[in-house]
Structure 1
Amino acid sequence: MKAYIIRRLLYMVLTLFGASVLIFGLYALTPGDFVDNNPKLTDERKAELKQMYGLDKPVVERYFVWLGNAVRGDFGYSLQYQQPVTSLLSQYIWNSFLIASASTLFTWLIAIVIGVISATRQYSFFDSAVTIGAFAAMSFPSFFAGLLIIKFFAVDLGWFPPGGMITTGSNATGLAYVWEVIDHMFLPVLVLTMLGVGSLTRYFRTNMLEIIRQDFIRTARAKGLKEKTVVYKHALRNALLPAITLLGFELPALFGGAIITEKIFNWPGVGQLYMQAFSLRDYPLLMGFTMFLAILTVVSNLLADLLYGVADPRVRLK
């Protein structure tokens, strides 16, 4: 196990190095930047700023300077916000992590329950309704689903606030503050859960159908085990194994997918930051956030591989 982890960590370093080359090259070779696209600056001031932030140096030299700083946790300086990228991301990343983790939890719980019931009642009315609902949820664009939910739950029914993280001018503290945040995050979590649960439900249903037709399930039933024991202890545990691989991509994908959702609900997360930085070509902030997603992806995949070995004793990580 120790040798496997060390080898995977070395692969992670090489993967992140390759990702850093692609990320920096993509943004560095894109025409224009925050300085060039600011019409309020004179040519002399633009040249001064480029020299100050090292934007006048060759691309290769700029990359190694950026990489050396990134290894120390310094991803540059946001020209738009006039703050270090690391401190700027740390202010908003936890807000995004809050709705991403909540939607991941609800998505998996709902998908597992519905997928198991749908597989054990194949071709029933419930199975048909789930199939239709899953494809309907997958077909909705996130911006349309967000606007539709705001119209129904916030405008028509008035059950939840339409956006933001807390009520404007609120001075709530303690449990009142926690409840206010939960109240505001309900709709964005609902959108992300609705968009993700459809495909994951179909995935669990397909896995369960394959497992319950195998010989060891028939043997378990022939031994007289209860149907719940057969389904939830033997079939479900084996059906979860392939899904663990998906877990490595779920959280990074939610951070990327939440960009539009955060914009619609005015949620103060990193998605809002990314959209504004993209429109103004604040490349240090864009590179820092994209690199964060790359790091999150490789770490999540490592955890998924380790969890796979824990969940299935037959797997030996060598």
Structure 2
Amino acid sequence: MGTYLLRRFSYMVLILLGASMLIFFLYALTPGDFVSNNVKLSAERKAELREIYGLSKPLFERYITWMSNIFQGDFGFSLAQQKPVLELFKDYIWNSFLLAIVSTFITWFVAVIVGVVAAYKQYSWFDTLVMIGIFAAMSIPSFFIGLFVIKILAVDLHLLPPGGMISTGSNDTGWAYVLDVAKHMVMPVLIMVLLGVGSLTRYFRSNMLDVIKQDYIRTARAKGLKERTVLYRHALKNAMLPAITLIGFELPGLFGGSIILEKIFNWPGIGQLYMSSFTVRDYPLLMGFTMFLAILTVIGTLISDILYHTTDPRVRL
């Protein structure tokens, strides 16, 4: 295990080095930036700001400075927000994490149950309805279903607030604050579950169909075990193994935010901040956040590999 981890860490360093170069030069070579695109500034002031922020230095020197700062825990300074990037992460990223962790838990819970039942009752009316629902959920754009849900639940029925994280002017604390946030979370979480549960249910259904045809499942049934025990203790355990690979890709998704949904529901998350930074070309924030996601992706992949080996000892690292 120690040799494997050492080798993987060396690979991770090389991958992140390549990712950092791609991220930096992609943004740095894009025409225009926050200073040059600001029409309110004079040419003299623009030149002064470019000198202050180091934008006039050679490209490779800027990259070395940026990377050395990242190694020290400094992901840059947002020119538009006038705050360090990490400080902005602390202000916004946990709001996105709250939405993502709740929707991910519900999505996996529903997908596992529906996928197992659909595989067990293959070609039944339930399986047919599930497959229709899966393709419908995967086909509907997130902005359309988001606006449609706001129209029905918030505008027409007045059951839920149309957006935001808390009620305007609210000074609630304690459980009143928790309930207010939970009420505002219902619609964005509902949309995220609807959009994510389709592909995941299809994935579990396909895995279960492969597993329940194996010899050891027939042996378990021949022993007289209850069908629920056969499905959820024997079949599901092995059908979950390929899904462990997906866990590595869930990690950056938990912190990456949903750009479109956060914009539609006016949720103060990192996705909305990321989108607004594009409009003003705040490249330091964009580079820092993209690099942060790259780090999470590499770490998530390592975690999924270790979990795969821990869950299934037959897999050699």
Pick the TM interval, shorter chain.
Answer: over 0.9
Residue 58 (structure 1) aligns with: 58
- Confirm whether residue 199 of structure 1 aligns to residue 199 of structure 2: yes
Residue 18 (structure 2) aligns with: 18
Query: Where do 4+ consecutive residues of structure 1 move more than 6 Å?
Result: none
Q: Deviations over 1:214-263 (max 9, x none)?
A: 11111111122221111111100000000110111124246556111100
- Confirm whether residue 262 of structure 1 aligns to residue 262 of structure 2: yes
Change (3 A) 1:140 1:257: farther
Letter in 1 for 2:258: A
Moved more, 2-11 or 154-163: 2-11
| CA RMSD after TM alignment | 1.2
Q: Deviations over 1:11-64 (max 9, x none)?
A: 222111111111001000000000010001011000000000000011111000
User: CA offset at residue 290 of structure 1?
Assistant: 0.7
* Distance in 1, Cα, partners of 2:16 & 2:87: 21
Residue 226 (structure 2) aligns with: 226
SS at match of 1:241: coil
User: CA offset at residue 3 of structure 1?
Assistant: 2.1
Contact (CA 8 Å) 1:75, 1:84: kept in 2 or not? yes
Residue 27 (structure 1) aligns with: 27
Residue 298 (structure 2) aligns with: 298
User: CA offset at residue 270 of structure 1?
Assistant: 0.5
Residue 170 (structure 1) aligns with: 170
User: CA offset at residue 208 of structure 1?
Assistant: 0.2
Percent identical pairs in the alignment equals: 67
Residue 147 (structure 2) aligns with: 147
* Distance in 1, Cα, partners of 2:310 & 2:55: 48
Contact (CA 8 Å) 1:100, 1:251: kept in 2 or not? no
Residue 135 (structure 1) aligns with: 135
SS at match of 2:81: coil
Letter in 1 for 2:9: L
* Distance in 2, Cα, partners of 1:187 & 1:231: 33
Contact (CA 8 Å) 2:207, 2:239: kept in 1 or not? yes
- In the TM superposition, 1:90-101 aligns within 5 A as 90-101=90-101
SS at match of 2:170: coil
Letter in 2 for 1:63: Y
Q: Deviations over 1:99-157 (max 9, x none)?
A: 11111111110100000000001111110000000000000111111111111111122
TM-score scaled to structure 1, two decimals? 0.97
Letter in 2 for 1:207: N
Moved more, 98-107 or 152-161: 152-161
Structure 2, unaligned runs of 5 or more? none
Letter in 1 for 2:205: R
Structure 1, unaligned runs of 5 or more? none
Change (3 A) 1:207 1:195: same
- In the TM superposition, 1:34-49 aligns within 5 A as 34-49=34-49
Residue 118 (structure 1) aligns with: 118
TM-score scaled to structure 2, two decimals? 0.97
Contact (CA 8 Å) 1:115, 1:204: kept in 2 or not? yes
Contact (CA 8 Å) 2:96, 2:257: kept in 1 or not? no
Moved more, 150-159 or 236-245: 150-159
* Distance in 2, Cα, partners of 1:259 & 1:268: 11
Contact (CA 8 Å) 1:101, 1:251: kept in 2 or not? no
* Distance in 2, Cα, partners of 1:184 & 1:224: 49
* Distance in 2, Cα, partners of 1:138 & 1:95: 25
* Distance in 1, Cα, partners of 2:193 & 2:176: 25
Letter in 2 for 1:62: R
Letter in 2 for 1:229: T
Contact (CA 8 Å) 2:34, 2:280: kept in 1 or not? yes
User: CA offset at residue 204 of structure 1?
Assistant: 0.3
* Distance in 2, Cα, partners of 1:256 & 1:128: 34
SS at match of 2:258: helix
Letter in 2 for 1:9: F
Aligned residues: 317
* Distance in 2, Cα, partners of 1:280 & 1:305: 39
Letter in 2 for 1:78: S
Residue 309 (structure 1) aligns with: 309
